[in-house]
């Protein structure tokens, strides 16, 4: 087992290196530079722009830039943002709480909807409930979040005036009122994202359940005279959850990575909106750091999933 884990770990290192090379090259080849806004500013002479580019190493060859990035990264130096001239790690840490709170809540909401609905739908396939759940799930993941987001804003903020649609990180209340305000402003983004995720997850849970529910051992359990609830919860769900757990594990990086569209619509200062604004302003160090963290998380959770498989099914780790 430990040998298996070690082997997986050693494979992870070259894949991370490979990912970083690809990311770096793509970013270096992408058009634009961080000082684009200066180009139309008559106050900034062209020589200054050129000097800035030289100072930030933008004119060096790609391999040199990559090597200096890599060596800095190995020393724990994430570099600094060209745009805000602030350390990148500081910038990411500032954005992380909002992302974890909103996207995390949305994932929990998605699970709370998907598991019971998926399980119940699978126990009564093609019943009225199953058909309604399926239809809603299809509608749910066909509607993009930018559409539902704006729809929610128009209904709940503009027409009904119940909820704010600008997310603020500095609510001026304390104690219980602060908590209530935090919840109030997160309702719409969490609902938009949670419902979207729940839709696809429901389908997944349902089909995983259906795969198991038809197996012989379930029929045996029923034949023994066990109650329906007991059969479903103890015998079917436990086994059906194995692929579902994998799916959730692989979705964890998304929680850290934020949801770009939703964050943009509701002005949530999360990692997703940091990434998009950095891409738009060609702030390479930030884009590099965020995407690399994202890649690390994917690799890490893949590793965890692999290890989990190995533990669940020892045959895998022996191969």
Q: Return phi, psi of residue 80, to 5°.
A: -130, 155
**What is the smallest separation between the CB atom of 158 and other proteins, expressed in angstroms?**
6
Candidates 3, 126, 172, 176; binder of other proteins (CB under 8 A) is 172
Stretch that binds other proteins, among 38-46, 64-72, 111-119, 201-209 (CB under 8 A): 38-46
Q: H-helix or E-strand containing 62? A: helix 62-74
Strand partners, 80: 87
Residue of 80, 96, 97 whose CA lies nearest to 88:
80
Choose between 105 and 264: whose C-beta lies nearer to other proteins. 264
Nearest to 80 by CA among 293, 278, 311: 278
Q: How far is the CB of 33 from other proteins (least distance, A)?
A: 5
CA neighbor of 303 nearest in space, from 258, 242, 250, 243: 250
260 binds other proteins (CB under 8 A): no
Residue 81 found at the interface with other proteins (CB under 8 A): yes
How far is CA 14 from its chain centroid? Answer: 23
Task: Establish if 239 lies at the interface with other proteins (CB under 8 A).
Answer: no
Nearest to 233 by CA among 251, 246, 247, 221: 221
Residue 39 binding other proteins, by CB under 8 A: yes
Nearer to other proteins by Cβ, of 62 and 139: the residue is: 62
Q: Is 227 left (phi over 0), alpha (psi -120 to 50) or beta?
A: beta
**Residue 144, interface with other proteins (CB under 8 A)?**
no
* 145 forms part of the interface with other proteins (CB under 8 A): no
Task: By CB under 8 A, tell whether 174 contacts other proteins.
Answer: no
The pairs formed by 31-34 with CB atoms below 8 angstroms and a separation of 24 or more are 32/282, 33/58, 33/282, 34/58, 34/82, 34/83, 34/281, 34/282, 34/283, 34/284
d(C-alpha 68, C-alpha 233), whole Å: 54
Q: Which stretch binds other proteins (CB under 8 A): 45-53, 103-111, 130-138, 297-305?
A: 45-53
- Asked whether 186 and 102 are in contact (CB, 8 A), the reply is yes
Return the closest-CA partner of residue 259 out of 168, 203, 204, 188: 188
| Among residues 11, 44, 96, 307, the one that binds other proteins under rule CB under 8 A | 44
Under the binding rule (CB under 8 A), the answer on residue 295 touching other proteins is no
| Given 8, 16, 49, 73, the residue binding other proteins (CB under 8 A) | 49
Using the minimum distance from each CB to other proteins, give the nearer residue, 254 or 265: 265
What token pair was written down for 241? 């959850």
Shortest CB 71 distance to other proteins, Å: 19
Q: How many residues bind other proteins (CB under 8 A)?
A: 54
Query: Closest approach of Cβ 29 to other proteins, in Å?
Result: 9
Based on CB atoms, which residue is closest to other proteins, 49 or 251?
49
Q: Of residues 24, 35, 66, 294, which one binds other proteins by CB under 8 A?
A: 35
Residue 36 has what DSSP assignment?
Answer: G
Q: Does 280 bind other proteins (CB under 8 A)?
A: yes
**262 is an interface residue for other proteins by CB under 8 A:** no
Q: Tell the smallest beta-carbon distance from residue 40 to other proteins (Å).
A: 5
50 binds other proteins (CB under 8 A): yes
- Kindly report the backbone phi and psi dihedral angles of residue 9, in degrees, each rounded to the nearest multiple of 5, phi listed first: -65, -45
* Residue closer to other proteins (CB basis): 64 or 166: 166
How many Cβ atoms sit within 10 Å of the Cβ of residue 210?
16
Does the footprint of other proteins cover residue 47 (CB under 8 A)?
A: yes
Binding piece for other proteins, criterion CB under 8 A, among 60-68, 87-95, 199-207, 304-312 = 87-95
């Amino acid at each position: 087992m430990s040998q298996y884990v070690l082997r997986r770990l050693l494979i992870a290192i070259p894949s991370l290196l490979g990912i970083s090379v690809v990311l770096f090259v793509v970013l270096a080849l992408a058009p634009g530079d961080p000082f684009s806004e200066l180009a139309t500013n008559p106050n900034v002479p062209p020589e200054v722009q050129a000097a800035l580019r030289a100072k930030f190493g933008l004119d060096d060859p790609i391999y040199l830039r990559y090597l200096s990035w890599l060596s800095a990264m190995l020393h724990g130096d994430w570099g600094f943002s060209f745009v805000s001239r602030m350390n990148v790690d500081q910038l990411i840490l500032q954005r992380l709480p909002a992302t974890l709170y909103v996207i995390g809540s949305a994932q929990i909401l998605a699970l709370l909807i998907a598991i019971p609905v998926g399980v119940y739908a699978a126990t009564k396939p093609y019943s009225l409930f199953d058909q309604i759940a399926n239809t809603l799930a299809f509608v749910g993941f066909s509607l993009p979040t930018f559409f539902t987001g704006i729809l929610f804003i128009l209904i709940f903020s503009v027409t009904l005036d119940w909820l704010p649609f600008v997310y603020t990180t500095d609510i001026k209340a304390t104690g219980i009122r602060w908590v209530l305000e935090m919840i109030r402003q997160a309702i719409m983004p969490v609902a938009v994202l949670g419902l979207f995720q729940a839709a696809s997850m429901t389908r997944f849970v349902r089909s995983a359940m259906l795969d198991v529910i038809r197996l012989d051992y379930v029929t045996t359990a029923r034949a023994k005279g066990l109650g329906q609830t007991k059969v479903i919860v103890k015998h079917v769900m436990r086994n059906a959850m194995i692929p579902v757990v994998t799916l959730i594990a692989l979705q964890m990086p998304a929680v850290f990575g934020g949801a770009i569209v939703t964050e943009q619509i509701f002005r949530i200062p999360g990692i997703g909106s940091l990434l998009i604004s950095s891409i738009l302003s060609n702030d390479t160090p930030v884009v590099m750091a965020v995407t690399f963290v994202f890649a690390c998380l994917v690799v890490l959770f893949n590793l965890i999933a692999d290890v989990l498989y190995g533990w669940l099914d020892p045959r895998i780790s022996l191969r």
